[in-house]
Amino acid sequence: MLLVSGILLHCSKSLPPGDPDNGGLVLPEGFEAVVVVDSIGSARHLAVNDNGDIYIKMRFAHEEGENIGLRDNNNDGKADQIERFGVFDQRGYYATGMRIYKDYLYYSTASTVYRQKLTRGKLVPESEPEVMLTDDYQNSPFGYSHIAKPLTFDGNGHMYVPFGSPGDVCQSKEQNRMPGALGQDPCPELEWHAGIWQFDANKPGQTQKDGYRYATGIRSVVGMDWNPYDNTLYVLQHGRDNLNRNWPEYFSPWQSAMLPSEEFLRVKEGTDAGWPYYYYDHMQGKKLLNPEYGGDGKKEGDGAKYEQPIIGFPGHWAPNDLHFYQGNQFPEHYKNGAFIAFHGSTIRAPFPQAGYFIGFVPFKDGKPGEWEVFADGFTQVDKIVDTDDAGYRPMGIAMGPDGSLYISESEHGKIWRVMYKGDKKNFGKDQLAQMEKLKNLPHIKTPDEIKDDLTPLRAEAGSVLYNKYCGACHMANGKGDGSRFPPIAGSEWVKGDQKRLIDVVLSGLSGPIEVNGKTYDGVMPPVDYLEDEEIAQILTYIRKEFGDNSPPVGSYYVKEGRYYARKKKEALKGGM
């Protein structure tokens, strides 16, 4: 070990052993991984101190603390000391940011950025938390969404925080995400949303008005990092949703799964990336006009005038963290390159969900090369039909003092430490070629529009469940019995918004209601005793068979609908 400025640093010879199976990860030859801790709960971003202590931002508030500190006391790679700290009145569930800047630990909830002075020798900071920034997002006149607050810092005392768009493509609050609804032009949201704001990193008590809008036209950012090599901010934008659902005349389900691209942007002061007017199509290699503003999947408009991404990744991969590697432990290939945590898609149906891996973009002389797969094995299954099928979802990336790379995941709270123990001089094409083959896996490859469509598979399973639980009332042909039980075939209840349909299944429905011009006054009891995937299969089947081949329903949205159905039930009880 080396003693530098009173801090113990582990040199490469003292790296702990990797786990026999690398903790389930698939890595390039010469790399090993050890599981630092397993199943601590839904983990978001993380940071590693100069002494190797790890700090993790947990997604949800906890009575014992919503942050977790980890310490390895015997250098076996495993956390011996696990402590929670920081109890706050957390609003929302987008707690994300965790970074160390000038001996302070900065972290964020959906509404607030805090910092605590680190205490030398102590795992948990002993200082009182300072409120650095507060976002009163719940009182936004445009509503709110994309309220995660990742953090990064430059070398001049500035903190950068994104403020995401309240909606999808700047439709009015009343028409947000409605099929065929046009976007507002000019977009009034851009004054306070869909951009990156610069703040004083050392000034407590700030609000958004105290900051400076550094860049605009960026819909939603969770992964961002300041690159010290070229002294520039880089961000990863989550692209818009619902191209096929809202504009089926222009976009097929396959196009909606692949587009729009997730944009890797180099951001300078004054950058405008074009949201909500434009999106990026990595297959055409250009920015195109959004259909809400007159686009049709082909029209370019003035797209070339806006900031172009340095790379466009396939749609909905959800890049949730970004780290420019400055260490010396890894081979030279990785120096100054960008590691990206792809959290994985939720809305690629009817095709397999995709992402769920750690990617890498090599940089040479400040210019990016082709993206690579660095770490895989998170999915635990061959094909992800719905998001819940994935065993793990990569979330955060941080570098330790010895150059090890730490990775967090959000489903169970597993933390990996990735180390290189091979011959750095002989690392190159052969090792990278092995990883390149992983791009053919179902969760990474470009799906075939015919062969990879999962609708028939899910509809077949849904058919069995429908006849078991629904057919007795609504009949096998979906036409009802003509008196007590309404038809669902051709019904606006089936073809319309899937959220309403999901709520009917989970919450039940009592009449009178009108279906296809006729009034029914029966009672449908909740079917909430079925599993999320079972409900998703039933609804996928009836939307395919009886809803004019409407888009399928994913279990992720059933899970979300279950949450809101429970809240609605609690509210009704409270009003009695």
For tokens 């094995």, name the residue.
377
Closest Cα partner for 379 from 26, 22, 19?
26
What was the pLDDT predicted at 568? 77
pLDDT at residue 481, rounded to an integer: 66
- Does the pTM of the predicted model rise above 0.75? yes
Cβ density class 214-234: b for 16+ within 10 Å, e for less: bbbbbbbbbbbbbbeeeeebb
Topology match between the domains 23-101+121-171+185-215+231-294+314-439 and 454-574:
no
Q: Which numeric CATH code is attached to 454-574?
A: 1.10.760.10
As given in the structure block, the two tokens for residue 29 are 């030859």
Positive or negative CA dihedral for 314, 315, 319, 324? positive
Helices in 1-158 by DSSP H: which ranges? none
pLDDT of residue 574: 65
Cβ atoms < 10 Å from Cβ of 19: 17
Cα(310)–Cα(266) distance, rounded to whole angstroms? 7
| Distance from C-alpha of 114 to C-alpha of 119, rounded to nearest angstrom | 16
Q: 295-304, 358-367, 398-407, 517-526: lowest mean pLDDT where?
A: 517-526
The tokens for 538 are: 């039933």
Helix (H, G, I), strand (E, B), or coil: what is residue 224? Answer: strand
Q: What is the mean pLDDT of residues 474-478?
A: 82
In this prediction, residue 87 carries a pLDDT of: 73
Class of CATH domain 23-101+121-171+185-215+231-294+314-439: mainly beta
208, two tokens = 């958004």
Q: At which residue do the structure tokens 């000034």 appear?
A: 203
Helix axis angle, 555-574 to 498-507, nearest 10°:
60
- The closest of 26, 34, 31, 32 to 437, measured between CA atoms, is 26
Spatial separation of the C-alpha atoms in residues 329 and 332, rounded to whole Å: 9
pLDDT score, position 33: 98
Could you report the per-residue pLDDT of 21-69, keeping only the tens digit for each?
999 999 999 999 999 999 999 999 999 999 999 999 998 888 888 999 9
**How many CA atoms lie within 13 Å of 544's alpha carbon, on the beta-carbon side?**
21
Beta strands in 164-231 (DSSP E): 195-200, 206-207, 212-216, 221-227
pLDDT confidence of residue 489:
86
Token couple for 305: 């005038």
- Closest by CA to 45, choosing from 106, 131, 119, is 106
Dist CA 532 CA 556 (whole Å): 8
For residue 214, which of 274, 148, 267, 144 has the smallest C-alpha distance? 267
Average pLDDT over residues 557-575: 79
Instruction: Work out the angle at residue 38's Cα, subtended by the Cα atoms of residues 23 and 50, and round it to the nearest 5 degrees.
Output: 90
More confident call, 4 vs 195: 195
Domain range list for the chain: 23-101+121-171+185-215+231-294+314-439, 454-574
**Per-residue pLDDT reduced to its tens digit, 502-548:** 998 998 887 678 887 777 776 788 888 888 888 988 998 898 888 87
The better pLDDT of the pair 542, 330 is held by 330
**pLDDT, averaged across the chain:** 91
Residues 6+ apart with CB under 8 A from 336: 227, 229, 324, 325, 326, 363
Please tell me the predicted confidence (pLDDT) of residue 455. Answer: 80
Instruction: Assign 3-class secondary structure to 431-497.
Output: HHHHHHHHHHCCCCCCCCCCCCCCHHHHHHHHHHHHHHHCHHHHCCCCCCCCCCCCCCCCCHHHHCC
What span, in angstroms and rounded, lies between the C-alpha atoms of 489 and 470?
A: 13
Percent of the chain at pLDDT exceeding 90? 67
